[in-house]
Structure 1
Amino acid sequence: MNAYREDASSVRHCFRHGITNKDSGSLAANYSSQKQRNFNKGSLFSDLLSTMAAVFRIKHPKTILWFFGICFLLVFYITISSFPSDEPCNCKHQYDESLTSGGNLGTGSMSHPEDPHKMAILIPFRDRFEELLEFAPYINSFLNKQKRNHHIFVINQIDNLRFNRASLLNIGYLESASASDYIAMHDVDLLPMNTELPYQFPETGPYHVAAPHLHPRYHYPTFIGGILLISRKDFANVDGLSNKYWGWGLEDDELYARLTEAQLTISRPGNLTTGTKDTFKHIHDRRIRKRDMIKCYNQQEVTRKRDRETGLSTLRYHVQNRKEMTIQGAPVSIINVILECNKAITPWCDCTENIGNTKTKRKPGERSNDVIVPKLDRRRDVSVDG
């Protein structure tokens, strides 16, 4: 495991924001145009021969500098081309519980023999380093006090597409296969303050730790976001989460529809003396990190309904690299990933403004199990954001 200094700038070194295909094309185009300017006499091969001839004749000393300059460019180009390519993951399959795409990643942090289970804490992530620096050591200490075997997996989206929390959780599930028998879908900005909050294996079905009567912001009855524990078996049974939710919101509501349709019982904490003000610490600052609320094309119409087309079985992504580090003693596995987007299905995966979006009016009698958007009383069900 690599040792890193525990500050924001050092953590950033573990999160490679690699060159995407779009950027690579731009670099290639720039390099090509530079070659055209530098080599006006023809192809690289003929220019190289001409330069070598000039060197041997030594009529113009400056040609020697040109020769070494060209050699430097060639060596640089070959070096860049030889870098390892992204590691592909072809995940279109029915999930097999024997899948171990994560290898031995994160298996070294299970230190409580009295706990027969192993929990993978999945953090969907992009550019929230300061929050991670606070979250990782805090949750590690919190769970060690409960004697829970656990490991933190940060699934870092490094492409240029809009953030897709659901797909990142699906990836975390697959990548942590060998290190866990249940997962905690955990927001990086939500810290449990009540030590009585249980993180035990969810024997009877999904367990919603950040329950509506405890969460600092959302209080509607069908809310299951923030922190949700679920066994690998149950998660596979509903095919994970929908991959159609690019941008902020509704992926948890669609998951709720999947869980209830599969007749899984969702449990929540009870008999706690704390409430919405003191059960969790919410470290999200909306003034610094604005949520992506853009709706474009037919996104609003599609994402308001139950998705029976996408999930674990249709997931497409590449792993750029995997890194192991510790943050104030907390072991963390960082998985840098590039998501793939089928724009024929979700053209809104990379839009930057509201384009072609029209609000869909609910048709009379349309309210059914397929409509996943919750009915909210804003004053009762949603508190002021932190």
Structure 2
Amino acid sequence: MSVSYLFAPKELRRRRRWLNRWWPSVRLRLDPLQQLRVDGRYVPVSIANWKLIPSVARSLLSTRIARPLTFAEDRRLTVVIPYRDREQHLRQLMPVLQEKLREQRLDYRILVVEQESGSKFNRGRLLNAGIHYAADLTDYYCLHDVDAVPIVANYACPSQPLRLVNKLIGLQGKSRHNDHYFSGAVSIRKDQVQAANGFSNEYWGWGKEDDDFFFRLLLTELLCYYDLEGTYQDLPNPPHQQVHRRYPWTPAHVRRNRQRRSLLLRGLVDPADDGLNTLRYEVVERGGSAEYGPAYEKIRIRW
């Protein structure tokens, strides 16, 4: 407790306590599993620096225990790729991805879920639609971005949710390490994604739906890992999908997404009220590709 707080007026202290209760203002400085390693390669995704209210932080830390990470064989994999206006990326990704999956002798199918034009992009809904559409034919999923091309990746079925990406190498030869996000390419068992109720359907545009999903998994008492050796090539996004970077202010949809995530972190949103169980979509077109083979399917959906 700071000295300035002790000498603050009583009413000001009361207001700060109230804000601390309802607004995330306490950062978790320590992750009790930060030093855990599995086979020297797999590490729990850190929860340090999450801003949480104290009651949520205590609850999360009480369930943060070591859980083993193992890999199962003879499981059916569906790679779900959310997609819109990325034909060039898809052509770069597909040959490399299919070669990796064949090398690892996996029973796989690839499902590209395309959003019909005319509405604002919603990555979470696309992933939910792919998860639901492929549920009867799969044991686990890899939720895969179309602009992440694998260089070193393990697509086997993990016992705990696993982020395959650790290093993203850009086209200019620079690399960046991402220790605290849970996106890019994530392998997860069907029962686990269903237990978390999938993604929220309420994140429009780009951003924060992956944070929401990661926190849903934490609330389900799963221990999420990432692969230290996982390396991907990061393809550049089209200019029209980087529109928010042109402006000095934060666009409205980004603010709304941040507010939605904040509600979840404050315990004011129940994941059971928004996700796979509330998803509504219609498949308007489906088909395969002679170029990509029988394990490939693409569906176009609308809300």
* Greater Rg over alpha carbons, structure: 1
**8 Å contact 2:147–2:237 — kept in the other structure?**
no
Normalized per residue, which structure has more strand? Answer: 2
**Residue 115 of structure 1, CA deviation:** 4.7
Do the aligned partners of residues 269 and 297 (structure 1) sit closer, same or farther apart at CA in structure 2, a change above 3 Å counting?
closer
Alignment map for 1:22-171 (pairs within 5 Å): 115-171=73-129
2 CA distance for matches of 1:329 and 1:315?
30
Give 1:215's aligned residue.
168
Match of 1:80 in 2: none
- Find 1:250's aligned residue among 195, 208, 221: 208
The 5-angstrom pairing of residues 246-325 of structure 1 reads: 246-270=204-228, 272=229, 279-287=231-239, 289-290=241-242, 294-296=251-253, 299=256, 300-306=258-264, 307-308=269-270, 309-325=273-289
Compute the displacement of 1:261 (Å). 1.1
The separation in 2 between residues aligned to 1:155 and 1:329, in whole angstroms, is: 17
Aligned to 1:201: 157
Per-residue Cα deviation, 1:44-64 (whole angstroms, up to 9, x for no partner)? xxxxxxxxxxxxxxxxxxxxx
Q: Which runs of 4+ in 1 moved over 4 A?
A: 216-220
1:137 Cα offset (Å): 1.8
Change (3 A) 1:256 1:291: farther
CA distance in structure 2 between the aligned counterparts of 1:292 and 1:120, rounded to whole angstroms? 32
Q: Distance in 2 between matches of 1:297 and 1:233?
A: 31
SS in 2 for 1:304: helix
Deviation at 1:221, TM superposition (A): 3.6
What are the ranges of 5 or more consecutive residues in structure 1 without an aligned counterpart?
1-113, 340-386
For residues 176 and 185 of structure 2, what CA distance do their matches in structure 1 show? 12
Give yes or no for contact 1:187–1:227 (8 Å, CA) kept in 2: yes
1:198 aligned partner, one-letter code = N
* Structure 2 residue aligned with 1:13: none
Residue 326 (str. 1) matches residue 290 (str. 2):
yes
Report the secondary structure of 1:192's partner residue. Answer: strand
Q: Which residue of 2 aligns with 1:10?
A: none
Cα distance, 1:324–1:120 mapped onto 2, change above 3 Å: same
User: How far did 1:302 drift?
Assistant: 2.8
The residue that corresponds to 2:143 in the other structure is: 185
The count of aligned residue pairs is: 215
Per-residue deviation, 1:330? 6.8
Q: Secondary structure at the match of 1:138?
A: helix
The 2-side partners of 1:168 and 1:311 are apart by 11
The residue identity in structure 2 corresponding to 1:191 is V
The alignment's TM-score, normalised by the length of structure 2, stands at 0.65
Quote the Cα distance in structure 2 between the aligned partners of 1:166 and 1:239: 12
Q: 2:187 aligns with which of 218, 229, 235?
A: 229
How far apart in 1 are the matches of 2:254 and 2:168? 32
Aligned to 1:239: 197
Offset at 1:280?
1.3
CA contact (8 A) 1:159 1:337 kept: no
Q: How far did residue 166 of structure 1 move? A: 0.6
C-alpha displacement at 1:267, in angstroms? 1.7
Q: In 1, Cα distance between the equivalents of 2:107 and 2:243?
A: 33
What letter is aligned with 1:215? L
Determine if contact 1:238/1:262 at 8 Å carries over to the other structure.
yes
The 2-side partners of 1:296 and 1:166 are apart by: 14
Asked if the contact 2:108/2:295 (under 8 Å) is kept, the reply is no
Paired residues of 1:222 and 1:253 also in contact (CA < 8 A) = no
Q: In the TM superposition, what whole-angstrom CA distance separates every residue of 1:341-369 from its partner, at most 9, and x where no partner exists?
A: xxxxxxxxxxxxxxxxxxxxxxxxxxxxx
- Would the aligned equivalents of 2:205 and 2:253 in 1 still touch at CA under 8 Å? no
Distance 1:305 1:314 in 2: 18
Residue 304 of structure 1: CA displacement?
Answer: 3.3
Task: Report % sequence identity.
Answer: 27
Normalising to structure 1: TM-score of the pair?
0.52
Deviation by residue 1:264-287 (Cα, 9 ceiling, x = unmatched):
0112224x3x8xxxx211112454
Structure 2 counterpart of 1:96:
none
CA RMSD across the alignment: 2.4
> Any idea what the Cα deviations from partners look like across 1:273-311, whole Å, max 9, x if unmatched?
x8xxxx211112454642567325972423433142310
1:295 is matched by which residue type in structure 2? A
Are the aligned partners of 1:123 and 1:155 in contact in 2 as well (CA < 8 Å)? Answer: yes
For 1:222 and 1:323, locate their aligned partners in 2 and report how far apart those are by CA, in whole Å.
Answer: 36
